[in-house]
Amino acid sequence: MVGWLALVGCGPAPEVTPSGGALVFLRGAVLAPAGADGGHATPAGVVVSRAWSAGEAVTVGGALGVAPAQPECVPLFSVPLGDVSRLVSMGGADPDTVLAFSPDGSALAIGTYLGEVVVVDGWTGAVRARRALSEAMVKTLAWSSDGRWLFAGEQSPDASVLRLDPATLDGASLVRMADHVGAGTPPAGDDLYGVYTLPAVTGLEPLPDGDVIVVAAHAWTDGAGVRRNASKVVRVRPDGAVAAQFPASGAASASFLRPVVDPGGAAIAFGVWRSAEGSPTADEAAIALVLRPDLTLWRRLEIEPLSPHFQRASVWEALAVRAAEGRVFAGLADGRAAWLSLETGGVTSVMGPATPIQLGEVAIHATIGAGVVVGGAGVVVTSRTQIPWGSAAPEVRPPSLHPNENAVIGYDHAGVEQFRMTGPWELAGATALPDGSALVVSAGARASDQRTDAFGAVIVPLDPPYDFVDRTVVCRTEGPAYFRHAVTADGRVAVTELPYKGADGSIHASYRATVVR
């Protein structure tokens, strides 16, 4: 089923606050005036969980309203994250930012490009604790299952994992991953991309028994001009002792990307990328690896390159593992999506929603950088139109648009398309709501024009019927939305807003985390 959306109500996210006895109808809730009972107070009003249907007359705390056909999405609060205008003005990459709600949703942790960890109230945005890390960018955050600890992983010379008390952010290093993948040298202050040559903690997974699985990667060019990679996965005890590791000795000469965990905790999977010189091992040449919790190798995943346009297949963050079903779902940079078997590692079905098509002398495609499994369906998010590397000069713009660019597409296990949503956005990232009812996708800066009314978080319904025109909700933001999100069981979505450079070179919007509902 295909859905195409027009963006209505253009402009920055409205500051919606109930007044005059009116209610604002949200997804599965209403926003009532301050003082209403039975909900959570926020700067925008009181959020009261309540099912409603179009045309229904609703009264909450003395406030009245008639439910509309489609819910609204309103910003509850924003948290300033510092000044990154220099980075934006000089054309640097989007500032990496990570967000993580506590298990009960009462707190939101934020890790910034500027090296700060911030913990705020999950409903009001009030800052509970703030800590600046030295010579570091915060690469990943994770809460323990009981909410007692907050773990922060750095991209820094040491690539440390910190175990912090979320109430104060006091704490110390649990493990120094530079001991496993090599230390880095702080870059020069004017080097916009120097931080990315430092070792990084690409993933954290706290386990119920108190152990933490840590994934780290390091890619750099050494003093002799040789490109090198080093990656390691360790399972760390609460006292910092390493209980298990992969590889069993030394580091892999590849980059292990952000991991995903099987819902039942039976497996951890991550993409593998290699830029190092020399011949790779079989593990280093795989598109992804699946490990058991004891960090023994479960399955090496391999897919043949899509010739003649690509010399290798690669997966970034479009990866999901379902151990109980014996399946892995992957979206590839060449525009393919695939279901693979955990039993054999082989491909069981392959789809090509955004693979290269030839337009004259130029081939165009769209990459798949994000994907999830929701309700048994493999869902991918495609990028804007690209030209495969090496098929034309990099400065050549695509002669036309790929028909499946900027789309959310779902497939069943046989590879049959179940739904498709497109619209006027530049889409990136994918985070499923806990109940599987919807997917959050970021709408960022547009490469084709200077349009600024299409920023925000797009909440795409994933439960049948797939009525995207009437049921998709757009949470508009002032600046482009970064591709990482955090969500709660009650439907709050945390998104990072980014500054952007206007046509005249001036900087607009600000670097901040915003929670919408």
pLDDT tops 80 at residue 3: no
Residue 12 pLDDT more than 90? no
The contacts of residue 106 (CB under 8 Å, 6+ apart) are 121, 122, 123
pLDDT for 236 equals: 98
Q: Enumerate the β-bridge partners of residue 476.
A: 456
The pLDDT-based confidence of 466 (bands split at 50, 70, 90) is confident
Element (H, E) at 285: helix 282-285
* pLDDT tens digit sequence for 231-256: 999 999 999 999 999 999 999 999 99
**What pLDDT score was predicted for residue 213?**
98
* pLDDT computed for residue 464 by the predictor: 86
Measured CA to CA, the distance from residue 362 to residue 474 in angstroms comes to 34
d(CA 113, CA 376): 35
Nearest Cα neighbor of 184 from 210, 152, 147, 222 is 222
- What the block records as the tokens of 203 is 């993933």
Number of other residues whose CB lies within 10 A of the CB of residue 33: 19
Predicted pLDDT of residue 324:
96
pLDDT at residue number 239: 95
Q: What is the pLDDT of residue 369?
A: 92
Distance from C-alpha of 35 to C-alpha of 190, rounded to nearest angstrom: 50
Instruction: Tell me the per-residue pLDDT of 135-158, one tens digit each, with 9 for 90 and over.
Output: 899 999 999 999 999 999 999 999
Reading the block at residue 107, the tokens are: 């707190």
The whole-number pLDDT of residue 396 equals: 64
* Whole-number pLDDT of residue 8: 34
Confidence bin at 100 (pLDDT 50/70/90): very high
Q: Which domains does the chain have, with CATH numbers?
A: 20-66 (no CATH), 96-292 (2.130.10.10)
Confidence of residue 361 (pLDDT cuts 50, 70, 90): confident
Tokens linked to 169: 């952010």
Q: What's the whole-number average pLDDT of the chain?
A: 91
| pLDDT, tens digit (0-9, with 9 covering 90-100), for 322-346 | 999 999 999 999 999 999 999 999 9
> Is the per-residue pLDDT at 105 higher than 90?
yes
Q: Is the pLDDT of residue 203 over 80?
A: yes
Q: Which of residues 112 and 448 earns the better pLDDT score?
A: 112
Nearest CA among 152, 159, 166 for reference residue 180 = 159
